[in-house]
Structure 1
C-alpha cells in the first residue's frame, strides 16, 4: 500500500519576503519584491529591474559557520540553505550534531545554474595563472549538486541526497520526486525544494532574447503582469523555496503540524513537437500532464478549488489558461492566480517558492490576488469568467489546489495538494 505524504515544514527566501511570516504577509497584501538594479543599468541591460531577495550579512551569518562563509560566493546556495534549514526547523526537526546520519531523511533540492559568480571569480584567477588562490570550496560551490550537498551536511541526512534540474519546472519536479520516494517506502521524510542564483550572468541571456520588459525600469513594481493585456515579458528573479515532505504515519507519531497532503501529480514533456519548442510548451503535453495528475491523485476536475499557474506574463499566458480549460472540461472553472506579479519569474526556484505560496493559501484560507492584472487579456476573459481571476486577496477556504510549472525544453509538471 502506498504511503500517504504530507507537508510538515516550509521555508522561503523570495524577492518579496524572507521567512514564512514575511512572505505570507507580502502575498496577502500584494506586495512586490521587484526593484531597480543599478548593476543592470551600468551593464546596459534593456531590462534593468529584477526580483532579488533582501538579505543582510547578519542574517546570512545565522546559517553558516565562519569557515563556510570564507570564500562563499554563490547566492543560490545562500538562498537554498536558508530556506531548507528554516523548513527543517519549521517541521520541528532537530539538527543532530552526533556522528550517525539520519538514515530515514533525505534531500532532493534542485537548481538551474549554481555558483555563477564563483565561476566568474575562478575563471579570472585561472586565466591569471593563480589557480592555487581558488580556495577549497570552489568545486562545491559550482557543482550543480552543491546545494543538496551543503544541506545534507548541515542537516546530517543519510537517505538520498541529490539535485535535479529541469529549468522552471525544477522545484515542482523535486517535490514530486520526493513524494514518489516516500510513497514507495524508501524514506520517512524528504526535504524538497529549489534555488536560483541572482545577477547579470544569470539574467543576461534572457535580456539578449528580448523576452524581458524594458519599459518599466522607472516603475519596477508594475512590470510583471501575468494574464494582463499589457504584459511585456517576464521579470527575472531569484530565491529559494523548501518543503519537508513526510510519511503521514511518521508525522502523526511525532505530533507534527501538517500543512497539507500531497495527493500526487505528473511530469512529462512535449518532445519539442506539435507546436512545442525549446522555449514554448506543446499544448497537448500540458493537457496530458494535467489530466494524468488528476487521474493519479484520484480526484475530479470539479474538486479543484484553485489553480496556481505558471503564468509568467508573456503572450503564452492565454494558451496556458486554455490548456487548463480543455483539460478540466468542467462547467465551473476554479479560481486561478499567479505569484509572478509580485516576485517576477524566479526561474529554477519558481516552482518551490510557488508551492510554498500555494500551501500557505490552503493553511490560512485565502486566495492571493493577481497583481497588475487590471487590464485582463481579452483572450483569457473569452475563456473564463473574470471573477475567477481575483485582483485582490479573497478570504476563502481551499480544499484542493493544483500547482503547475512549465519550463524551457518543453517540460511540464503538475502537483495536487489537499487540505487535511
Structure 2
C-alpha cells in the first residue's frame, strides 16, 4: 500500500512538473507600449513542446556534437526573464523593418557575459550593437531592437487605452505558435502564426483556401516575382510600403512579372599605343540584371500618365525613373500604363484572377546584390507567398527541404 502511495505521489509530482514546465502560462503582457501599432506574440511553451516533439522524432540529431559557436550562452541563459509570451512590437511612424522587445533583467552579469560571447560591440551609455541588432540596458530592463534610435520613444504600457486592465494573450491569439496583431486604438486585427517543418504560415482564418496547388502552378512560370493585385490590395500595401505604392491610388489593377538573368556586358575603354595614338579597347563581363514587365490598369490612363510626368517619374525619353533598373520604356495602353525593361522577352502570362505575390529565391539574386550574401539564412528560403481572398489573408515563407525540420535547424 505504501509503495502505491509513493508511486502515485511521484507520478503526481512528475505530471505537475511537466504541466508547469510545458503548459502552464502567465498570459499577462507587460511590455507592449501604448505607441505600438503592431505586435508579434510567440508562445514560448508551445514552441518548446514543438521542439521536444521534433527532437524525439529525429534520433539522428541526438548525438550531434555542438560546434563551438553553438556552445555559446543562449538567450534563455543570458540573465533575462523570458516571458511565456514573447512580445515583439512595432512603433507608430517608424520604419517597417524596425521592431523591438523589452525584457526584465534577472542577472546583469550573465547578460554582459552573453553580449561578450556573441561579440556585441559597445557604443557607450549601455548601448550595444551586432549586425543590425541593438541592445540597450536601462532601469533593470533590456531593450532589443532592429534600430537603436527609437528606444527613448517606447511609451508606457498599452493597458491605459484598455481601461487600465492588464493585457492578456488571449485577446490577441488563439491557436498557433504565435500571432501577428495590428493595433488601432482599442481595436485589433489578429493573424495566427504557424511554425511547420518547412514553412512559417500567417493567416487570419482557419478555413482559408489551400494555396498549395496554385503556388505549384505559379512555380512552373519560372519567374522571380509573379504578382497580381486589385485596388483594395494596393491600398493594403500602400500602408506597408508607402514609398512604392504612393502613386498608385488611381490604379485598379497591378500585374508584375520579373525574371533575373545573366548577360554579357560590353566594356569600352581607351588607351594609347607606343606612338601615343588613342586606341579603343573592348572587354566583356558577365552581369546579372532583371527583366520585368509591369501593367497598371486604370479608368483614366491619361490622368495617370500626367501624374507620373508631374512627379518626374517619366523622363523625356519615356523611361520610368521610379524603377532603378534602366533602361526601360513606358507607354499608354488602351486601359492603363505598361512599363517594360528594354530586354524584356516572353514575360507575358495570363491573368490568374487572384490577388497574390510570389517571390521565389534565385541563386543569381546573390550575384545581383552582393550585400545579400551577408544574410546567409536568405539562401535557405525557397519562396515567399502572399494571397488574399476578400477579408481572408494568407502569407507563407517556405524553406528549402533539409534533413531536419525548421525548429531543429
TM-score class normalised by the smaller sequence? under 0.3
| Structure having the larger proportion of residues in strand | 2
Provide TM-score, normalisation by structure 2: 0.24
Query: Whose Rg is larger?
Result: 2
| Structure having the larger proportion of residues in helix | 1
- Higher RCO, Cα 8 Å, sep 6+: 1
Provide TM-score, normalisation by structure 1: 0.23
